[in-house]
Amino acid sequence: MKEPALPVRIRRLAEQDAPAVACLEAQCLSMPWSERAFADLAKDGNSIGLVAEWERRVVGFASLTGLSGEGEVNNVATDPAFRCRGVAGALLEELFRQGGEMGISDFTLEVRAGNAAAIHLYERLGFQSAGIRPRFYEKPVEDAMIMWRRSKPTIPTSF
Ligand SMILES: CC(C)(COP(=O)(O)OP(=O)(O)OC[C@H]1O[C@@H](n2cnc3c(N)ncnc32)[C@H](O)[C@@H]1OP(=O)(O)O)[C@@H](O)C(=O)NCCC(=O)NCCS
């Protein structure tokens, strides 16, 4: 049976969160960002970092960097003890909302081609596969699926 959604508080990343977020990512990803990278992200005016807190504990993180109206989702991670309870979904919905306020309408990301949980989540939130980047990831080597979530469908052009 599916567990109920975790009632997390979602707030903007602050420089002081960098150690906790780096620690969370190290538990979740084979190529995690450094503490320094998260501290820099918190100060970057073109980026949005969001932390999900439950009982004052950081249980999830997501971020994006905006460029020319497009947003690259960089990191998405949920503490293994709190997965499948809507944490990443809630973070991403809020990321799209705040991204929209920055003028971002289209979002993209890369995901390991074998990461079924993440691909399921992204498809549920409206992302579609747009191709494969062969052997993009290391540790272990794996293809990346490139995904896009566009506000308006792209219309194929004929010549
Ligand atoms: C991917 C990740 C961020 C999802 O976090 P989460 O908080 O569990 O996400 P949510 O609970 O919002 O949604 C997870 C969805 O995946 C589904 N899911 C879980 N395991 C699955 C699997 N093996 N296959 C298919 N779907 C799966 C859940 O049922 C849920 O879907 P639903 O809401 O339709 O039932 C988390 O698993 C994680 O941190 N993984 C390691 C880091 C990572 O891979 N990040 C993504 C990098 S691109």
Task: Write out the residue range of the structural domain in which residue 47 sits.
Answer: 9-149
CA distance 142 to 133: 9
60 CA: nearest ligand 1 atom: 7
pLDDT for 153 beyond 70: no
Q: Give the model's pLDDT for residue 102.
A: 94
Classify residue 1: in a domain, yes or no. no
Is 122 tagged catalytic?
yes
- Output the six-digit token pair for 57: 């504990």
Options 53, 93, 110, 142, the catalytic residue: 110
Query: Using CA positions, which residue lies closest to atom 29 of ligand 1?
Result: 84
Give residue 152's pLDDT.
78
Any domain includes 50: yes
Asked if the model's pLDDT at residue 159 lies above 60, the reply is no
Residue 30 lies in a domain: yes
- Domain assignment present for residue 155? The answer is no
pLDDT tens for each residue of 33-50: 999 999 999 999 999 999
E-state strands within 102-156: 106-112, 128-137, 142-149
Token digits of residue 152:
């308006």
108 Cβ below 6 A of ligand 1:
no
- What digits encode the pLDDT tens for the residues 64-120? 999 999 999 999 999 999 999 999 999 999 999 999 999 999 999 999 999 999 999
Q: What is the pLDDT of residue 155?
A: 67
Q: Specify the number of domains making up the chain.
A: 1
Q: Judge whether 156 lies within some domain.
A: no
Distance 61 CA to ligand 1 centre (A): 13
**pTM confidence score:** 0.95
Report CA(121)–ligand 1 centroid distance (Å). 6
Give me 74's structure tokens: 């960089």
Q: Does 17 map to a domain?
A: yes
Which tens digit of pLDDT belongs to each residue from 129-147?
Answer: 999 999 999 999 999 999 9
Q: Note whether residue 22 is domain-resident.
A: yes
CATH of the domain at 28: 3.40.630.30
